[in-house]
Amino acid sequence: MKKILAILLIAALTFQHVKADEGMWFLAFINKNYSQMKAMGFKLSPKDIYDINHSSMKDAVVTLDGGSCTAELVSPYGLILTNHHCGYGEIQAHSSVEHDYLTDGFWAKNRSEELPNPGKTVTFLVRMEDVSERVNAELNDKMTEEERSLSIRKISEVIQKEAVGPTHYTAQVRSFFKGNNFYLFVYETFTDVRLVGAPPSSIGKYGGDTDNWMWPRHTGDFSIFRIYCGPDGKPADYSTDNVPYRPKHFFPISIKGVKENDFAMIMGYPGSTNRYLTSWGVEETIENENAIRIEVRGMKQNIIKKYMDKDPKTRIQYASKYSQSTNYYKYSIGQNKALAELKVVDDKKAIEKNFEKWIKENKAERAPKYGEALDLIKKAYKDKSEMDKVQNYWFEALYLGPEVFGSGFQLRRLQGALASGDKEAIEATAKGMEGQMDEYFKNYNVQVDKELFVSMLTLYRDKISKEYLPGFYETIDTEFGKDIQKYADKLYATSILTDQSRAKAFLANPDAATLENDLGYKAAVSCLDVYFALQEKMDAPNALLGKGMREFVAGWIQMEEEKDKNKLYYPDANSTIRLTYGTVGGYKVGDKVYDYTTDLKGLLAKEDPKNPEEFSVPDRLKELYKSKDYGPYGENGRMVVCFTSNNDITGGNSGSPVLNGTGELIGIAFDGNWEAMSGDINFDNKLQKTINVDIRYVLFIIDKYAGAKNLIDEMTIVRE
């Protein structure tokens, strides 16, 4: 174990001669990448990026809502930029038929107009620390996977508690390289985050689902929030007494423009990659996870869209839900296509073959450590294949299907309180749930949910063996003649989960009998019973997979390190802060050459009166284009909208700052290109591109389109 740790630590701190566009690098060790970054155009020092004793760029980059997106500070008064799609839920929540901010946009012309968003959070990294040696000292090769996990959890809790002491900070110990390395992250989280500005969807979501994951792109994908804190500068819940947060660092904004081969780096919180995935894992992703997501979400989206098109209120209610669903629906289609076209399974098999050959070359030393790794992985995927299928259908069709299930899951806390007989606990729990239910019904249409219910339950029964059917299917068979529609009619006509007045009446005077006999709640609980039973069955194969992947990755790194001792390996993304660096530029697919920028002229050319939902252009934008009134943000009579760079990002990076060599903001990352959708599993240096909204277009929309000069005035604009 100590030798494995030494190898990984050497690898993690050594310079790697790879193309700069690939890699999600730890900020704390970025000095090892410095010479390459400097040669490419980086003009600052590693300490300008990460420093725990002085302000640095890390202090201007935050994660939203625990990892859903990234944002960046752009003023000394807590102003942050992120993507429109990252703020879409809040924009939708504040919208109504009377005040349709999704359609019309929203701009606070002073701070009193900024809108609070209960539940939204902004989290800063305070510091990170390598604790691998301390954690691995508690582990040994004789442990079972369960014993290993328990030991990791125990020592992690001790380290976390020591790290934060009596402060308001939080801490996490996270594993890397499939459980071989461990790092401590200390965070500070703010809970008063207010909506400041957002363009209309015709700008912020221009191109809609058609252009999603595609290039060329013309989307002004940005929104604006502000962080508030208590008068003492510390995090505080929403209050009129709170003041704008004064950050340690914020990014100056360059309007000098981007040129091909300009240095570009992105800092953010990438969610999840699987670059070390084996051939069996890739096959499971293609045939099971992605295929099921495509099938189920396609059905759900057709139902939701039908109702959205009929009614303005329903359109607003389901806008965010629909957008979230379609995003990874299309991603899965693109990923499967790219994985097949780029022959990623074959590439992974070649790696595995080389790994086996390497072990045989020194079998006596290597086989005891790594010889069983691939066999364990192969067996794990075989043993859990059927359960993976069930889990994916359960997640997509039931958990993410009709909302009655998710709402029912929330009521389990109340059932626990009722079972305890503690009147104070019952009253407090019920009162706490009143707000949750109000929010639930605000964006709920019973007709939509009922049709989803019938459709998803029918699909699940058709696809899944009887062993994994929730208990309510027996009720359908015995009491409703196997007719799901009749069961749905009764449930939706009586359940407290499908009618706000029934929910309010119940929460005002909750009792166990009413809850436990409610058809909606009983259905939700029986869904959870399947989930828990499934998780228990998957414990054994998941343990095999965990051990196999840990040994495989450790062995693979040793194999590669023996070939090149100057090689650095970055761990898979896991919602911890990373930096990626590369250059601005286009790309080529076959004979097709893609330029690295798009502009307002191209945006107007895409306008389609037959598809106003996705390709409608606001009159004000047309006027500005016609008059070429771009202010200081245009470029030789041209208004650049988006540009591409070869940075390495994934989900969670949405909203990340794109920075030039002097640490100035030049864009906001928001997407990847269709041809390289396999990037989370297999990065392709020739194809992989990050799509960014040009910061000049962002400022142009704020200033010239919206007239929100008050926001421009608090930013630091660099013109030369």
The token duo for 110 is 């002073």
Euclidean distance between CA atoms 53 and 66, whole angstroms: 25
The token duo for 56 is 């640095």
Q: Is the Cβ–Cβ distance between 300 and 325 less than 8 Å?
A: yes
Euclidean distance between CA atoms 558 and 472, whole angstroms: 52
Dihedral over Cα of 260, 263, 266, 272: its sign:
positive
Start-end of H helices in 144-261: 145-164, 201-204, 208-211
The token duo for 473 is 């299917």
Query: What stretch of H or E contains 359?
Result: helix 344-361
Euclidean distance between CA atoms 10 and 365, whole angstroms: 20
Q: Which of 84, 85, 218, 249 is catalytic?
A: 85
Give the closest residue to 220 by CA, choosing from 617, 542, 714, 679: 617
Q: Is the Cβ–Cβ distance between 195 and 94 less than 8 Å?
A: yes
Contacts of 517 (CB under 8 A, 6+ apart): none
The token duo for 408 is 């029912």
Is 385 labeled as catalytic in the residue annotation? no
Euclidean distance between CA atoms 196 and 78, whole angstroms: 11
Beta strands in 213-335 (DSSP E): 223-229, 243-244, 253-254, 263-268
Is 262 labeled as catalytic in the residue annotation? no
Q: Is the Cβ–Cβ distance between 273 and 573 less than 8 Å?
A: yes
Q: Which of 51, 100, 211, 221 is catalytic?
A: 221
What radius of gyration do the chain's Cα atoms show?
A: 26
Question: How many residues belong to the chain?
Answer: 720
Q: Is the Cβ–Cβ distance between 200 and 105 less than 8 Å?
A: yes
Query: What stretch of H or E contains 605?
Result: helix 600-605
Dihedral over Cα of 200, 204, 207, 208: its sign:
negative
Please give the angle made by the CA atoms of 549, 552 and 553, to the nearest 5 degrees: 85
Burial 124-149 (b: 16+ CB within 10 A, else e): bbbbbbbbbebbbeeeeeeeebeebe
Is 654 labeled as catalytic in the residue annotation? yes
Q: Which of 56, 68, 201, 654 is catalytic?
A: 654
Spell out the SS3 assignment of 30-91. Answer: HHHHHHHHHHHCCCCCHHHHCCCCCCCHHHHEEEECCCCEEEEECCCCCEEEECCCCCHHHH
Which residues form the catalytic set?
A: 85, 221, 654
